Structure 1
Amino acid sequence: MHRRRFIAASAVALSAAAAPLPLASAAHAGRRLPTRYVVSDKPGVLPEGIGITPDGTIYVTGSGNGDLYRGHVTRDRLHPFASGGSERPFAAGVHPDRRGWIFVAARATLDVHGRDGRLLARRTGSSGPVGETFLNDLVVTRDAVYVTDSTNAVLWRAALRGHRLGSLERWLDLRSLVPGMPAQYFFLNGIDATPDGRALIVASQGLESLIRVDVTTRTASLIDLGGTSFGPDGLVLRGNHVYAVLNYAAPDGQGVYVARLNDDLTTGKIIAGVVDPAFDSPTTLALHDRRVYVVNSQFDHAPGTPPYTVVTVPDPLR
């Protein structure tokens, strides 16, 4: 989810978790929720990734320090949850799953944390044909984790078998599959999957487009959006709608845009957009209870000025 920028389990230093979080989404039904969340007041955090569990627990990564922060939609402040330490100075995509694991894409590694913040696993990808691996964003399906690479036109995959995570492998090279793929710096960013895990939607800022990947046949093609520039950073797929953060070449400015795709996820058009003065170099988003949670990275004027925040806007389709 880095916006056109390049910059076996081991123990890591853990920060004390916040007080116990509310466990049920019913606990905040009908309540007035914050519209702005403070990730951190410390300099240099540069938040980037976000994931929200069904019960409203929020996880946000710090690309400036590799740390992971945790909070809840009912509270306006997040707290340190797991430190990247010296072994992980950068963290981007984050995805909490139904096992209670929190997956983090960290440029050189794919890390997995438990509910208590402990590092459960670390998988490393080798260098690609252009340069060092830049693991950026990820999605977790029932049987695998898929990770985008922002240096190489590659999707990485680690198999999931129950509570076992396989090695991280170069699963699909898009250079021979997608017409016009640049010779280098492909800027593969956001990724999501259909509920059955048979198709992936991948953002390419290098092509300013979306790519559909068929997992079974291991084929890929550009999604036809009628010639519209649509190169998201982070994205979320809901049904046949792609919610995406565009932070360059956006039709009406940096913001959240929604593309409606056909049933095969092969063609579509942009149908809605939200540009808000509260956005500050937005990188990605999460959806929860009819609201869109947007990460303000401050990349455009890094290292930015604390506090670093997540802000919300109403779901433009609700």
Structure 2
Amino acid sequence: MRTRIVALATALLLAPATVASTGAAQAAPGSGTAGPTPDRIELPRGWQPEGITTDGQKLYVGSLATGAILRANPRTGTTSVLPRSATGKPAVGVEADRRRGVIWVAGGEAGEIRAQSAASGRVLATYPLPTAMRFVNDLVVTRDAVYATDSMNQELAVVRLDGKQVPASGPAELLPLTGDLVYGAGFNANGIVASGGYLVLVQSAKGLLFRVDPLTGDTEQIDLGGYLVTNGDGLEIDGDRLYVVRNRDNLIAVVDLAADLLSREVTDELTSDDVDVPTTVALLRGSLYAVNARFGNPSPATADYWITRLDAPRG
């Protein structure tokens, strides 16, 4: 398993900028029609992305290097950095919350969850976990709470929600994970989504999926029929279809879940010559947007990074 701890001393201070994607087609003058959706959206050099999310219109990508958040227009390929978003602490998983106008951020080894303005990136509230070896990896927002995985401790971090206001800063609750999930060496709980009153998470180290009761923390392994989601990272869900990003394998497993989420059929594996260690995906208008973390690159602070668009399966 890869090491995802980022040395903040090498972080770049990324100023607000606008970048045009190479290959982003533009409409001909006077044509009145938009060009085709770009298949690749360039990110600033040295961005070091990990998480990607969508508010239904735009894409948002966090930076491991600085904690900054970038907004991308998938129709044009243009990007801009939210001007007040850099925190000096990692942005790992990110989740758009249209109801509250925020981007929820998993803080990695900083051991916290952050709520940041989707307009400016300003930190509105911080929810630290108790002092310990932590890696807050990914998160999901439900009507009642924000749930975040900790890849090093067998528990979820929880921020309770009530109405449209962002809760005041304060310690996150901890929900122990019991049942079938057993942590081992390497990264454990990673990507997380919500469906049908349950949570679904992937255990990277063992290549397994689990259904989680958000009230009790009880976990049940999802029957994959012997298929392992090796190097499982970010998850995306669309009805009963689950997308599992397998980073080092450079592919996305397509899993059709049963109604109880406990059994499945793996129907496809998506890939592209343009992916390079994808970590998470966002589903928007029939397309999957995969962010390429390029883990193992010898010069991450000066490397090129980008988002790759893939067609989502139909039916």
CA deviations 1:164-194 (Å, max 9, x no partner) are 32644343222x4225432x54421111101
Figure out how many residues of one structure are paired with residues of the other and give that number.
Answer: 289
> Residue 307 and residue 281 in structure 1: after superposition, are their counterparts in 2 closer, same or farther (change >3 A)?
same
Structure 2 counterpart of 1:121, from 102, 121, 125 = 125
Q: Please tell me whether the aligned partners of residues 14 and 66 of structure 2 are also in contact (alpha carbons under 8 angstroms).
A: no
Match of 1:308 in 2: 305
Q: Which residue of 2 aligns with 1:22?
A: none
Question: Per-residue CA shift, 1:252-298, capped at 9, x if unaligned?
Answer: x4211111111000011211111211001111100000101000111
Q: Which residues of structure 2 form unaligned runs of 5+?
A: 7-12, 20-31
CA distance in 2, matches of 1:256, 1:74: 23
Unaligned runs of 5+ in 1: 8-12, 20-27
TM-score, scaled to structure 2: 0.83
2:18–2:78 CA contact under 8 A, matched in 1? no
Partner of 1:267: 263
Aligned equivalent of 1:89? 89
Q: Which moved more, 1:276-285 or 1:73-82?
A: 73-82
User: Is 1:34 the counterpart of 2:30 in the alignment?
Assistant: no
Distance across 1 between alignment mates of 2:115 and 2:74: 23
Matches of 1:186 and 1:235, distance apart in 2: 15
1:191 aligns with 2:189: no
2:223 match: 224
Aligned identity (percent) is 31
CA–CA distance in 2 between the matches of 1:295 and 1:29? 28
Deviations 1:54-77 (A, max 9, x none): 1x2111011122211112112223
Aligned counterparts of 1:177 and 1:118: Cα–Cα separation in 2: 38
CA–CA distance in 1 between the matches of 2:181 and 2:206?
10
Find 1:292's aligned residue among 282, 288, 292.
Answer: 288
Paired residues of 1:14 and 1:83 also in contact (CA < 8 A):
no
Distance 2:214 2:84 in 1: 34
Task: Let me know the Cα RMSD of the aligned residues.
Answer: 2.6
Which residue matches 2:61? 60
Mapped contact 1:4–1:187 kept (Cα < 8 A): no
User: In 1, are the aligned partners of 2:85 and 2:120 still within 8 Å (CA)?
Assistant: no
Match status 1:208 vs 2:210: no
Does 1:233 find its partner at 2:233? yes
- Give the AA of the match of 1:308: Y
Summarize deviations over 1:119-156 as a string: whole Å, max 9, x none.
1111111134xxx1111100011111000111112211
Q: TM-score, normalised by structure 1?
A: 0.83
